[in-house]
Amino acid sequence: MKVQYKPKRNLLETIFQVEILQGMALTLRKMFSPPVTRQYPDEKPPMYPGFRGQHALVRDPVTNDSKCIGCMRCATVCPSRCIQIRYHDDERGKRFVDQYAIDVLRCVFCGYCVEVCPVGAVTMTEVFEYANYDRAAIHYDKGALLENWDNFIAQTGYDETYVNPFWRPRGIPASLLPASQRMNVPDDWTIKGQFVGTKVRQTQESDGSTHAEESNV
């Protein structure tokens, strides 16, 4: 390998210390150029598509409770085993979820719980500021998860049809996605236009073909 040495300074450069002057000129220039750093926390960064933030249980506006039907899919698929669900079935076999908890400190944010949920009951919001000194405060029970949802929609203006664009993986036919809501996100999705007010319902015809209907929500 050929080693290149810095050329020697000439007499004038040595007398006037031009590197120091160049350095000072650079400092002076930067003092009057716009800052490149973000003034956090006054200035928050925008969240990008697919950001997996704080968990929440989506509140059903009709029942004012969680949409969760206690199918246990999220707890089964969770690789960290950090979702705990308690439920009971009534005499007619209808299931009621008594407790739903996520120990976020064990969560690896894979998003499988959101992806597998058939009714869009659990979601990962765009909230990223939830660090806490108290471990117990990040062990979310059902009430805390519903509160996370309330705070998220109050901040963003979304409603229960919110779907993180991450949950619509490219290249997978919509019919294979577990919830029809996941077809709501258009291809030209942008951060500003995250929510699109259409719902697509797919029905299976008797001849085996599928039929899609769009409706505004």
Binding site for ligand SF4 (CB under 6 A): 68-74, 77-80, 82-83, 85, 102, 107-113, 116-117, 119, 121-122
Element spanning 35, H or E = none
Of 88, 145, 139, 79, which Cα lies nearest the Cα of 112?
A: 79
Q: What is the smallest separation between the CB atom of 97 and ligand SF4, expressed in angstroms?
A: 7
Q: CB nearer to ligand SF4: give 113 or 183.
A: 113
Of 142, 120, 141, 140, which Cα lies nearest the Cα of 130?
A: 140
Q: What is the smallest separation between the CB atom of 110 and ligand SF4, expressed in angstroms?
A: 4
Q: What is the smallest separation between the CB atom of 122 and ligand SF4, expressed in angstroms?
A: 4
Rounded-to-integer distance, Cα 93 and Cα 70, Å: 12
3-state secondary structure of 124: strand
Rounded-to-integer distance, Cα 53 and Cα 31, Å: 36
Q: What is the smallest separation between the CB atom of 24 and ligand SF4, expressed in angstroms?
A: 51
Q: CB nearer to ligand SF4: give 122 or 183.
A: 122
Q: CB nearer to ligand SF4: give 107 or 183.
A: 107
> Do residues 63 and 119 touch, judged by C-beta distance below 8 A?
no
Q: What is the smallest separation between the CB atom of 55 and ligand SF4, expressed in angstroms?
A: 7
Rounded-to-integer distance, Cα 184 and Cα 149, Å: 19
Q: CB nearer to ligand SF4: give 52 or 184.
A: 52
